[in-house]
Structure formats: C-alpha cells, structure tokens
C-alpha cells in the first residue's frame, strides 16, 4: 500500500496565558498507508487532537513537515469530539451539508442521505426529518459519522468518537466504524484514550505521551472483529502491552 | 396540560391586575386630588372621553376618543415596525460584516462602542435641528436606536460561535461566504433573538422619544400634548396603552422566535 501521509519531525508549540511555551507535539514522525486504520492513544493533553488538527490543517505546525501522497492533500472527513453536527439543520440537511457546499443536485443529495442513514444504522423514514435535539447521544454520534463519510473522503479523522457513551452504545459505534472502514477502505485515523477501542479498531496503535511517540504497535487480529474478540488471549496481551507503556510513564 | 397552564396564568394575571386597580382607586380616594392622582373612575369618566379634544368630530366623545387613540396607535405602530425591520437588518449586517472584513475589525468595533455609548435621548435636540418637522427624522431616530444595540450584540455573538462547527464547514469545502450564511448566521440566532426580544420592548420607548421630536401625530405626540397641559389622566391612559402594546408585541415576538428557534 502506498503511503498516504508522511509526518516528519512535527513540532507544535502553544503559548499559554502566562506566556509559557507548551510543546503539544515534539518531533512526531510516522506514516500512514492508504487504506490503513491507525489508532492513536494517549492520556488527556498528550497532543492527540492537536495531531489531527495539524493533519487537517486546522492548526499551523511550528516545525516539521506533513507530506501527502503525490503532494495532493486528501479530502478529509472529521468527526469532532463534540459531535459538530449543526443543531439548526435536520438529519438530512446535516448529512448532506458537504454535498450542499458542492452544489449537488437535490435528488442526488436525497438518495445519498437515505443511503448514508441506512449505513449508519438509522431508519431514514424515521430520522431524516428530525432535529439533533430530538436524538440521543449515540444517534448524534452516528449522524456525525454519517456527515463525515457522506462525500467519500480519502481520509477519515475520528476524535474520540465514543467518548461519553455508555458501554452498549460504545460497542455499537465501534462496530459501525469498523463496518464503514471494511466497506469503504478509507484511510482512518482514530484518536482515543480507550485502550480496548484502539486495539479493537486499529491495524496499528500509536502511543502518544506528552507530545512524543512512545511506541507504534502493529495489531494482528483477524477482521471483521466481533465483540467476543475482546476476551481473546491475543487481544488481552495487546492490552497488557499497551498498559505497560502507561505504567512506565507513570513510574 | 398546556391549556390548563395558560388558563392558570391568565387567572393569576387577572387577579393581580384587579388588585392593582383596586389599590389604585383606594389611593386616589385617599388623596382626593384627581388632577394630580386620578382614580380609575375619573380616568374612565373624565380623562378618556377628553381625548376627543384632539378630533374635529366631537359628537360622541367616547367613540371619538377610541378613534383618536386607535389611529395614533396605528401611526406609531407603523413607525416602529418599519424602523424595527430596517434597524434589525442593518444591525445584523453590520455586526456580521465587521467579522467578515477582519482587517477592519478593530476600527469598526471601536466605532460601534462609541456609537453605542451615545445616550439616545441626548440626540433628541440634534435630531430636531437636523430634521425639523420632517417625518424621516422619527424613522431615523428609532432605527438608529435599534441598529446600535443589534449591531453590538451581533458583533459579540459571533465570538461565541462553536469553533468546531466552523472547522467542520471549512473541511467540507465551504468558503467564507457560505460559512457566514449557513453556519455563523444560524449559530448566533438564539443570542440574536434574545436581544431582539429586549429591543421589541425598548422600541416603544424609542418611538416616544422620536415622536417628541416634532411629530404632529402618534402616541408620543398625544403624550407630549397631555404633558404640556399637565393632563395626568391622559398621561396615565397613554402610559397604560404603551404597556399593553409592549406586552402584545412580546407575545407576538415570542411566537415568531419560538418558530424560528424550533431546533433549539
């Protein structure tokens, strides 16, 4: 698989309110192959979201380079931590926002909205005309994912997509993400602080601590992964391995 | 359930109003100086029909007074409505444009702060000199009052837009124009409608100031004339009318904003 993104010696510095320089990212280097699913795990404040923001060009980098395949920036779908669905738009209007920007014909938009709604596990007849305020946390998360994949982006960025959800919904969303990835094979970068989630979904788990990459672990578990895999010995071994890194950091 | 709640509210309002009128009448009886503190009965029997003095047709003083109050209310209402529409549209546009043209943001925000801090009533003599007896002065005065508040609130509301929504728009390829029209404008609506709600109440006060300028009709004109002749009864009736109109406009506005913010 060709490399889609090559991150070389990336630094991101922030100035705090009392004028201290904070290194959000320090000499971060790794690459992501086209079609790969990479999980980035780390505690709060480790620079995970900053990394996504630099890749998507929402934040400027202080030093280093981000190279894209054939020097062409891929189209990006981003699921933000706080959902980022537009509360004043109905589900159909949220899902088709990107298509509206691209001035897609209404008929095509409706067809895509129906298809995406089914894909994210919601009945279009019931949900398309609802406002976000009428949806549960899990349903909102599904819509946010639907919005991000509606225009078939080459790169999908997921910033803690299951945070604040109960266990059942968490697993449902994780399986939805996996199903979408298996179907579309779009390069996916997941940021999470949930060790299980990072192993369950990723082909690789990158451990980030204080803006520095501590480890890059290849996950060799079969696909499609089912919920009972979480009790598999190999899965538990991966989990312990990653937990050891965090214990080391703590020590 | 909802109907019951409304009936309950109306019952409470009616009781409070009734008690207020009783207390008013009792105080008036106690002082017994109707020229200074007229009671309810004096207001109905003497003050109200005397509005017919403003009319040429004086056959039935009650009917003639109703006609005078109604026609002048309509005149004031039209002035308010036109000024509200123009003031709100210009205010929102300017508040948004300050952010749209980022390079002039500082100058514009200072300018807005200066304009906003000019006391509106201090402008009355200026407007009298500038516009004399022209009706346009009234419209400009009310519009100016609405415009400054709406422009300032719009300007500040944009700072509260959720940044990830703008980022979402940018990533999906939306240009600046699209982001302003489809994201920022909608995101500031709850804040904007709250300030418009306040304006709707205040506009009646602005209209009063404006009609003081040089109007020869409208509720403000009637009030000014009553003030010149120290007619307390008429002053109280007009003040009461202002209060009723204020409440009605708020009820109508709440219905409209409830529809606009049905997603909120």
Write out chain B in H/E/C secondary structure.
CHHHHHHHHHHHHHHHHHHHHHHHHHHHHHHCCCCCCCCHHHHHHHHCHHHHHHCCCCCCHHHHHHHHHHHHHHHHHHHHHHHHHHHHHHHHHHHHHHHHCHHHHHHHHHHHHHHHCCCHHHHHHHHHHHHCCCCHHHHHHHHHHHHHHHHHHHHHHHHCCCHHHHHHHHHCCCCHHHHHHHHHHHHCHHHHHHHHHHHHHHHHHHHHHHHHHHCCCCHHHHHHHHHHCCCHHHHHHHHHHHHHHHHHHHHHHHHHHHHHCCCC
Residues of B in contact with A87 (CB under 8 A): 263-264
- Which of A204, A83, A207 minimizes the C-alpha distance to A146? A83
Contacts of A80 in chain B (CB under 8 A): 164, 167-168
**Residue with the two structure tokens 């976000």:** A132
The rounded mean pLDDT for chain A is: 91
pLDDT at B124: 82
Look at residue B245 and tell me whether its pLDDT is greater than 60.
yes
Which pLDDT score is estimated for A15?
Answer: 86
Nearest CA of chain B to the CA of A249: how many Å?
31
Q: Look at residue A249 in the predicted model and tell me its pLDDT.
A: 58
Give chain A positions within 8 Å (CB) of B178.
Answer: 101
> Are the C-beta atoms of residues A39 and A199 closer than 8 Å to each other?
yes
Tokens standing for B64?
């003639």
Find chain A residues with C-beta within 8 A of B172's C-beta: 97-98, 101, 151
Work out the pLDDT band at B7, boundaries 50, 70, 90.
confident
Tokens of B181: 């029209």
- pLDDT per residue over A2-17, tens digit each? 888 999 999 999 888 8
| Environment class of B196 (CB within 10 Å of its CB; exposed 0-12, middle 13-18, buried 19+) | buried
Mean pLDDT of B234-247: 92
**Distance of alpha carbon B124 from alpha carbon B250, whole angstroms:** 26
The partner residue sitting opposite B174, judged by closest CB among A58, A89, A101, is A101
**ipTM (interface pTM):** 0.85
Question: B98 and B222 in contact (C-beta within 8 Å)?
Answer: no
Q: What is the nearest CA distance from A9 to chain B, expressed in angstroms?
A: 24
Task: Say whether pLDDT at A202 is over 60.
Answer: yes
Q: What is the mean pLDDT of residues B132-149?
A: 88
**Nearest CB neighbour to A82, from listed B164, B187, B264:** B164
Quick check: B159 and B109 in contact, CB under 8 A? no
Q: What is chain B's Cα-based Rg?
A: 23
Look at chain B and count its residues: 264
Rounded CA separation A187/A184 (Å): 9
Position B2 pLDDT exceeds 60: no
| pLDDT confidence band for A73 (50 / 70 / 90) | confident
In percent, the amount of chain B with pLDDT more than 70 equals 97
For CA atoms A63, A68, A72, A77, give the dihedral sign: negative
Length reported for chain A: 251
Nearest CA distance, A225 vs chain B (angstrom): 30
Q: What does the alpha-carbon distance between residue A237 and residue A239 come to, in Å, rounded to a whole number?
A: 5
pLDDT of residue B103: 76
Spatial distance between the Cα atoms of B11 and B17, rounded to a whole number of angstroms: 10
Does residue A158 sit at the B interface (CB-CB below 8 Å)? no
Summarised one tens digit per residue, pLDDT across range B50-59 is 998 888 877 7
- Are B171 and A131 within 8 A, CB to CB? no
A83-141: pLDDT as tens digits: 789 999 999 999 999 999 999 999 999 999 999 999 999 999 999 999 999 999 899 99
- Mean pLDDT, chain B, rounded, equals 89
Question: Which structure tokens are listed for B78?
Answer: 């039209």
- Examine the pLDDT at B214 and tell me if it is beyond 90: no
B124, B213 contact by CB (below 8 A): yes
Q: What is the pLDDT of residue B106?
A: 79
> Could you check whether the bond before residue A38 is cis, i.e. omega within 30 degrees of 0?
no
Q: What is the pLDDT of residues A156-180, one digit of tens each?
A: 999 999 988 888 889 999 999 999 9
Identify the band that residue A250 occupies on the pLDDT scale cut at 50, 70 and 90.
low
Residue B127 has pLDDT above 80, yes or no: yes
- Residue A235 sits at φ, ψ, to 5 deg, of -60, -45
Mean per-residue pLDDT, B149-158: 93
How far away is chain A from the Cα of B258, in angstroms, using its nearest Cα?
13
What mean pLDDT comes out for the span B175-204? 93
CA-based nearest residue to B91, from B83, B81, B101, B103: B83
Report, as an integer, the average pLDDT of B22-49. 90
pLDDT band for A22, please (50, 70, 90 cuts): confident
Say whether pLDDT at B1 is over 80: no
- Chain A residue closest to B263 (CA)? A88
User: How confident is the model at residue B26, as a pLDDT?
Assistant: 92
């Amino acid at each position: 698989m060709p490399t889609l993104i090559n991150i070389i010696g990336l630094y991101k510095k922030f100035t705090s309110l009392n004028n201290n320089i904070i290194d959000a990212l320090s000499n971060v280097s790794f690459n992501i192959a086209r079609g790969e699913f990479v999980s980035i795990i780390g505690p709060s404040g480790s620079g995970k979201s900053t990394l996504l923001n630099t890749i998507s060009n929402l934040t400027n980098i202080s030093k280093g380079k981000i190279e894209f395949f054939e020097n062409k920036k891929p189209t990006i779908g981003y699921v933000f931590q706080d959902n980022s669905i537009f509360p004043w738009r109905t589900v159909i209007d949220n899902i088709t926002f990107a298509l509206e920007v691209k001035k897609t014909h209404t008929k095509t938009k409706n067809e895509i909205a129906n298809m995406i709604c089914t894909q994210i596990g919601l009945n279009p007849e019931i949900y398309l005309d609802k406002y976000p305020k009428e949806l549960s946390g899990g349903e909102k998360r599904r819509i946010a994912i639907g919005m991000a994949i509606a225009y078939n982006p080459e790169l999908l960025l997921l910033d803690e997509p299951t945070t604040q959800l109960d266990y059942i919904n968490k697993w449902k969303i994780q399986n939805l993400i996996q199903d979408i990835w298996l179907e579309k094979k779009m390069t996916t970068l997941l940021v999470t602080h949930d060790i299980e989630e990072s192993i369950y979904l990723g082909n690789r788990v990158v451990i980030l601590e204080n803006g520095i990459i501590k480890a890059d672990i290849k996950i060799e578990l079969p696909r499609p992964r089912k919920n009972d895999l979480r009790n598999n010995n190999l899965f538990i071994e991966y989990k312990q391995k990653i937990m050891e890194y965090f214990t080391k950091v703590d020590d | 359930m909802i109907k019951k709640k409304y009936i309950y509210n109306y019952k409470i309002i009616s009781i409070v109003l009734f008690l207020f009128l009783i207390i008013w009448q009792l105080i008036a009886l106690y002082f017994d100086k109707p020229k200074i503190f007229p009671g309810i009965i004096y207001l109905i029997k003497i003050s109200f029909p005397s509005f017919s003095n403003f009319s040429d047709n004086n056959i039935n003083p009650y009917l003639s007074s109703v006609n005078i109050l109604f026609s002048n209310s309509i005149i004031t209402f039209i002035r308010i409505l036109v000024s509200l529409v123009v003031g709100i549209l210009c205010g929102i546009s300017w508040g948004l444009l300050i952010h749209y043209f980022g390079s002039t943001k500082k100058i514009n925000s200072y300018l807005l702060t200066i304009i906003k801090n000019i006391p509106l009533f201090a402008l009355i003599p200026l407007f009298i000199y500038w516009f004399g007896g022209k009706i346009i002065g009234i419209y400009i005065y009310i519009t100016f009052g609405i415009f400054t508040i709406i422009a300032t609130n719009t300007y500040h509301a944009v700072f509260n837009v959720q940044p990830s929504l703008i980022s979402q728009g940018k990533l999906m390829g939306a240009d600046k124009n699209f982001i302003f029209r489809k994201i920022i404008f909608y995101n500031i609506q709850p804040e904007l409608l709250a300030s418009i709600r306040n304006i709707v109440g205040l506009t009646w006060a602005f209209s009063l100031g404006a009609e003081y300028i040089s109007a020869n009709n409208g509720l403000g004109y009637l009030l000014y004339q009553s003030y010149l002749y120290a007619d307390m009864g008429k002053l109280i009736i007009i003040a009461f009318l202002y209060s009723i109109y204020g409440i009605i406009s708020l009820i109508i506005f709440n219905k409209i904003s409830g529809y606009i913010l049905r997603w909120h």
